[in-house]
Structure 1
Amino acid sequence: MPNGQGGYQPIFILSEGTRRQRGHEAQESNIQAAKTIGEAVRSTLGPRGMDKMLVDSLGDVIITNDGATIMDEMDIEHPAAKMIAEVAKTQEDEVGDGTTTAVVLAAKLLEEAGELLDQSIHPTVIASGYGMAAAKAQEFLNDMAVSISIDDEEQLKQVAKTAMTGKKVEANVPVLAGLAVKAVKQVAEETEEGYEVDLDNISIEKQVGEGVDNTFMVTGIILDKERVHPGMPKSVENAKIALINAAMEVKETESDSEIRVSSPEELQKFLDQEENEFREMVAKIKEIGANVVICQKGIDDMAQHFLSKEGIFAIRRAKKSDMKKLARATGGKIITDIEDMTIDDLGKAGLVEERKISGENMIFVEECENPKAVSVLVRGGTEHIVEEAKRSFEDAVSVVAKSIESGKIVAGGGATEVELSMKISDYADSIGGKEALAVRAFANAVESIARSLAENAGLDTIDTIVELRAKHEEDGAVYGLDAHDGEVKDMMSEGVVEPLLVKTQAVSSGSEAAVMVLRIDDVIASKGNEVGEGGGPEGMPGGMY
């Protein structure tokens, strides 16, 4: 607006201290942040991948090469880097494996986009090309997939082994893979469309002590609890289990009220009344034949005494999630009113026992008949090993479940990525315009996964990729890299296989995240959230440290 002297008065829209990056500067900053994230996890990819040591603000240490854990534990500041880290979370939630692949792919797509931007290709053209390539990639991946059945235990074990290879528990992979397949098959439920696996029904507990090979599964549930009274039996065979979601305690009055007692006799009468309530409660439990009580809420000392006298094994304050699993494992019903409980509500187990594992008391509810919820107790010599063993086992369980649900697997070892890259390159030749350049960039990004596998194995990446391409051109679509000896082999014959969903989800989430970041041309950071040069918080390159 004119200010009276013929000049114009500036209009301030953003508050003082707000930092703004526009156009190429914003894109460059975001791409640099994505590259930094990709580089951070790329070295963990494959069976020869390295580990990361993550130290939090309290000094607690995590040593892992699990992409999701690394992304989750890293204190990331840069907003674009956070978006790439979300790719790992999505991949972990949807599939349970392939997190590193998804992050590396997203980062590489943005790096390739940066080169196209330098050639003055508009971001929307690149985004359009990436969208076309991602859609075509899904088609190609589905064509490459091979069917797998829930009864094909050996092939399912190979899927589990592939997910765990390269982790710290590699020496124990056969044991863990067998347990993963056994656990998933036990809880899988047949539907009209196929099989469904709810992984919440596989409870994975951990306890330091012994070796990873001593990990075992129980056909039932393991509870990190102990019986409420030392006078109760330590173990109960042919257990009839009452699952109670009600407090075995004196009911409090609904509103604030006062009970006036004028003589010792009246007080005694009041106490006797409470005692009778507990007697009746325990008598009811005994009458219907229950010899184990698992209560989600509290159990009064008096009730504990009467349960102990009757030889009934009892646990209190069980978690709600554990109660649901117990119901699925034992066939019992969770009841909220002891008075209405019948013999049909009781769950059954061959054995309920309190055992001391490495100095900690745990309750084992096992030998259930066809349980639809099971538990696995992961062991390991140190806290770090047992944590990594648990993470590896969770990955194995996830990929076996997804293989059973989708019924499709693909070759690992970079075979699928090389074949997909070649097919997308051919597709790029069939389309015209600038989008073809973006489609070819997409192909390069996909191939970078195989390059990273070769690089992490200490091989010459150029020679390896040339050899892989040559094999694939000879119609060897399942040929990939054996990272242990550096040879190009038939991955299906070698048993290096992965669920189709690991690849389709990585392509989908990785490309969507890359496109989202790519379309940003303006970053407005409020005061206190400044984005500095080099993509990180002020003075912090990459926004990671």
Structure 2
Amino acid sequence: MAGYASGNRNRSRARDAQSINILAGKAVAKAVRTTLGPKGMDKMLVDGLGDIVITNDGATILKEMDIEHPAAKMVVEVSKTQDAEVGDGTTTAAVLTGELLTKAEELIEKGVHPTIISGGYRHAAEKAVEILKTITIDVSPDDRETLMKLAKTSLTGKAAGEYKDFLAEKALDAVLSVVEETNGNLSVDVEDITIEKREGGSILESELVKGLVIDKERVRPNMPRKIENAKVLLASFAIEFQKIEKSAEIKITSPDQMNLFVEQEEKMVKEMVDKIIASGANVVFCQKGIDDLAQYYLEKAGIYACRRITKSDLKKLAKATGATLFQDVTDIRPEDLGAADVVEERELHGSKMTFLLGCKEAKTASLILHGGTTHIVDSLKRALNDALCVIGVALEDKKIVAGGGSPEIELALRLRDYAATLKGREQLAVGKFAEALEIIPQTLAENAGLDPIDKLIDLRAQHEQGNKNMGLDVYTGKVVDMYENNVLEPLRIKTQAINAATEATVMILRIDDVVAATGRGGAMPPGMPQPDMDM
């Protein structure tokens, strides 16, 4: 290829490019596959600083892993999307993507063009979503028992699994306290639920607060510990003497001048505090610092003040109390203050936090998690977040399905029947899509130490007899009715995983040329061989 190997490009084409990309995608899926299901193993992730994360959460593992291959990153994106849309099922989505790539590779080796495979996969994904909707179970906000089963299923197999009954109840109560109804449709914003971690104590000491908890204490111990009928002021500016931004030199030649300068500073701080007091505020949350002198004046006025509040916490405070975030002291208006029934400081295991109860503007809840070590409370937070998301999407969609691999086996069975009605090579792609879905129950069996082939045969036999809820009980090794066995998942976990995995697979399959520009000092990504330039 004339002029091609000019030194500013590396290139991998056609079959080589597809093989390399498929291999990279499969490698990522393989990395998380052993974590799937209640019997899945954990991964220990160690970063360059020696910090450790121990988890079996697919999204966390893939996010923390140092992945540089461009095709592998697409599989990571599938997991991230699943986490953002549903909050759970991230490992399922990644494993399914890897298996779809494996089956596509088999077809490519038989001479089926990637475009045909892509079309068949998309067709199969659409049909799979249609089939899923025929095997759903309805759920309502009043059906507390079913919602509890959903939460327990999500928590099973995670670090906090033995406390799943206790934690599921906390998660359900938290979601129900923030759910909103608009024109008959329910919506749940999990961001309205704050999760705070506290090392020390037992997991059973974790509590739900129907209000907002901020991990900050009063700036001075003599400020009121509790304020009722709180008028909340949110400040993004510093309550302190405003330093001159431009370079300046002030010459002081006598003690009187020094006194005047100090008095002027004090006067400016006093004026700022006077404006805050005049607004009627009795609680102040400041994003930046509060001067010692300002603290004194605020304390004297009986105002509860906290400083160094994070931007995310300020947003939560604004939403919960209805307060406006003031950019400057001159912007303060009494009508823009927020409101809460009670603002108080409480001590938990040696550390102090601020509680806002009876917030006027928005529904809000906070979960305070306790655990023996940092790693325990971190894993607890990840598990609780999954449970909250699962309950939320189930309430929004009002549809759930049985778990334990039963939906995948049913889909595989029905898609094989559907493939038989198609003509041409697309039939092969739909058939391979059906085979790929069986990787989920197969992996569940492998991770539980069971024979995957025997279990797949048993599952297929049950579903062919019309028992669509039959799945694998990894604890007993038996094929049982998953609905009766209380293993339930939201419909959206399955539809999102199928759609995201299909789109990522199709994107990878359609790449037949990988070009890496090295003009800016780059090179082909690690793991990609340098291709032969003599074309």
Give the TM-score normalised by the residue count of structure 2.
Answer: 0.91
One-letter amino acid matched to 1:431:
L
Structure 2 unaligned segments of length 5 or more: list them: 531-535
- Pairwise CA RMSD of aligned residues? 2.6
The equivalent of 2:186 in structure 1 is 195
Q: In 2, Cα distance between the equivalents of 1:29 and 1:332? A: 54
1:397 aligns with 2:388: yes
Q: CA deviation at 1:223?
A: 2.0
Q: In 2, Cα distance between the equivalents of 1:263 and 1:75? A: 62
Instruction: After TM superposition, list the pairs within 5 Å mapping 1:99-178 onto structure 2.
Output: 99-178=90-169
The equivalent of 1:441 in structure 2 is 432
Match of 1:420 among 411, 415, 433: 411
Instruction: After TM superposition, list the pairs within 5 Å mapping 1:19-58 onto structure 2.
Output: 19-58=10-49
The equivalent of 1:181 in structure 2 is 172
Q: In 2, Cα distance between the equivalents of 1:118 and 1:295? A: 63
Q: In 1, Cα distance between the equivalents of 2:79 and 2:22? A: 17
Question: Structure 1 residues 408, 312: closer, same or farther in 2, change over 3 A?
Answer: same
Deviations 1:42-94 (A, max 9, x none): 11111111111122222222111110111111112332222212111111111
Q: In 2, Cα distance between the equivalents of 1:387 and 1:124? A: 44
Contact map agreement 1:146 1:408 (CA 8 A) in 2:
yes
Question: Structure 1 residues 246, 451: closer, same or farther in 2, change over 3 A?
Answer: same
Contact map agreement 1:333 1:347 (CA 8 A) in 2:
no
The equivalent of 2:74 in structure 1 is 83
1:315 aligns with 2:315: no
Contact map agreement 2:45 2:52 (CA 8 A) in 1:
yes
Q: In 1, Cα distance between the equivalents of 2:338 and 2:60? A: 40
- Higher mean alpha-carbon deviation, 153-162 vs 394-403, is at 153-162
Q: In 2, Cα distance between the equivalents of 1:185 and 1:29? A: 47
Question: Structure 1 residues 342, 488: closer, same or farther in 2, change over 3 A?
Answer: same
Aligned residue for 2:45, secondary structure, equals strand
Match of 1:529 among 493, 504, 523: 523
The equivalent of 2:334 in structure 1 is 342
Match of 1:384 among 367, 375, 379: 375
The equivalent of 1:3 in structure 2 is none
Q: CA deviation at 1:260?
A: 6.7
Q: In 2, Cα distance between the equivalents of 1:95 and 1:364? A: 29
Question: Structure 1 residues 11, 343: closer, same or farther in 2, change over 3 A?
Answer: closer
Contact map agreement 2:343 2:354 (CA 8 A) in 1:
no
1:92 aligns with 2:83: yes
1:506 aligns with 2:505: no
Question: Structure 1 residues 21, 266: closer, same or farther in 2, change over 3 A?
Answer: closer
Q: CA deviation at 1:401?
A: 1.3
Aligned residue for 1:106, secondary structure, equals helix
The equivalent of 2:345 in structure 1 is 353
1:293 aligns with 2:284: yes
- Higher mean alpha-carbon deviation, 143-152 vs 171-180, is at 143-152
The equivalent of 1:407 in structure 2 is 398
Contact map agreement 2:20 2:528 (CA 8 A) in 1:
no
Structure 1 unaligned segments of length 5 or more: list them: 1-9, 540-545
One-letter amino acid matched to 1:428:
A
Instruction: After TM superposition, list the pairs within 5 Å mapping 1:64-79 onto structure 2.
Output: 64-79=55-70
Contact map agreement 1:332 1:348 (CA 8 A) in 2:
no
Q: CA deviation at 1:422?
A: 0.9
Contact map agreement 1:291 1:311 (CA 8 A) in 2:
yes
The equivalent of 1:542 in structure 2 is none
Contact map agreement 2:281 2:337 (CA 8 A) in 1:
no
The equivalent of 1:11 in structure 2 is 2
1:468 aligns with 2:459: yes
Match of 2:294 among 297, 300, 303: 303
Deviations 1:298-325 (A, max 9, x none): 2222111111223322111212221221
Aligned residue for 2:438, secondary structure, equals helix
Q: In 1, Cα distance between the equivalents of 2:439 and 2:311? A: 45
Q: In 2, Cα distance between the equivalents of 1:101 and 1:201? A: 27
Contact map agreement 1:21 1:524 (CA 8 A) in 2:
yes
1:450 aligns with 2:441: yes
Deviations 1:496-519 (A, max 9, x none): 111111111100010111111112
Contact map agreement 2:339 2:359 (CA 8 A) in 1:
no
Question: Structure 1 residues 253, 74: closer, same or farther in 2, change over 3 A?
Answer: closer
Question: Structure 1 residues 235, 136: closer, same or farther in 2, change over 3 A?
Answer: same
Q: In 2, Cα distance between the equivalents of 1:503 and 1:17? A: 44
Q: CA deviation at 1:105?
A: 0.7
Deviations 1:392-414 (A, max 9, x none): 11111111111112221111111
Contact map agreement 1:203 1:221 (CA 8 A) in 2:
yes
Q: In 1, Cα distance between the equivalents of 2:400 and 2:361? A: 28
Contact map agreement 2:231 2:337 (CA 8 A) in 1:
no
Q: CA deviation at 1:351?
A: 3.8
- Higher mean alpha-carbon deviation, 108-117 vs 344-353, is at 344-353
Question: Structure 1 residues 344, 117: closer, same or farther in 2, change over 3 A?
Answer: closer
1:478 aligns with 2:469: yes
- Higher mean alpha-carbon deviation, 483-492 vs 16-25, is at 16-25
One-letter amino acid matched to 1:106:
T
Q: In 1, Cα distance between the equivalents of 2:210 and 2:276? A: 25
Deviations 1:307-361 (A, max 9, x none): 1223322111212221221233334443445564326724223241142x44443
- Higher mean alpha-carbon deviation, 20-29 vs 364-373, is at 364-373
Q: CA deviation at 1:293?
A: 1.6
Q: CA deviation at 1:162?
A: 1.2
Q: In 2, Cα distance between the equivalents of 1:363 and 1:348? A: 13
One-letter amino acid matched to 2:207:
F
Match of 1:242 among 233, 238, 250: 233
Q: CA deviation at 1:390?
A: 0.9
The equivalent of 1:213 in structure 2 is 204
Contact map agreement 1:278 1:306 (CA 8 A) in 2:
no
Contact map agreement 1:236 1:353 (CA 8 A) in 2:
no
Q: In 2, Cα distance between the equivalents of 1:85 and 1:346? A: 41
Aligned residue for 2:133, secondary structure, equals helix
Q: In 2, Cα distance between the equivalents of 1:447 and 1:123? A: 22
Aligned residue for 1:317, secondary structure, equals coil
Contact map agreement 1:218 1:367 (CA 8 A) in 2:
no
Q: CA deviation at 1:181?
A: 1.6
Contact map agreement 1:175 1:213 (CA 8 A) in 2:
yes
Q: CA deviation at 1:139?
A: 0.9
Contact map agreement 1:239 1:352 (CA 8 A) in 2:
no
- Higher mean alpha-carbon deviation, 156-165 vs 414-423, is at 156-165
Q: CA deviation at 1:40?
A: 1.5
Q: In 1, Cα distance between the equivalents of 2:236 and 2:375? A: 36
Q: In 1, Cα distance between the equivalents of 2:2 and 2:130? A: 52
One-letter amino acid matched to 1:116:
L
Aligned residue for 1:349, secondary structure, equals strand
1:204 aligns with 2:195: yes
Q: CA deviation at 1:262?
A: 6.8
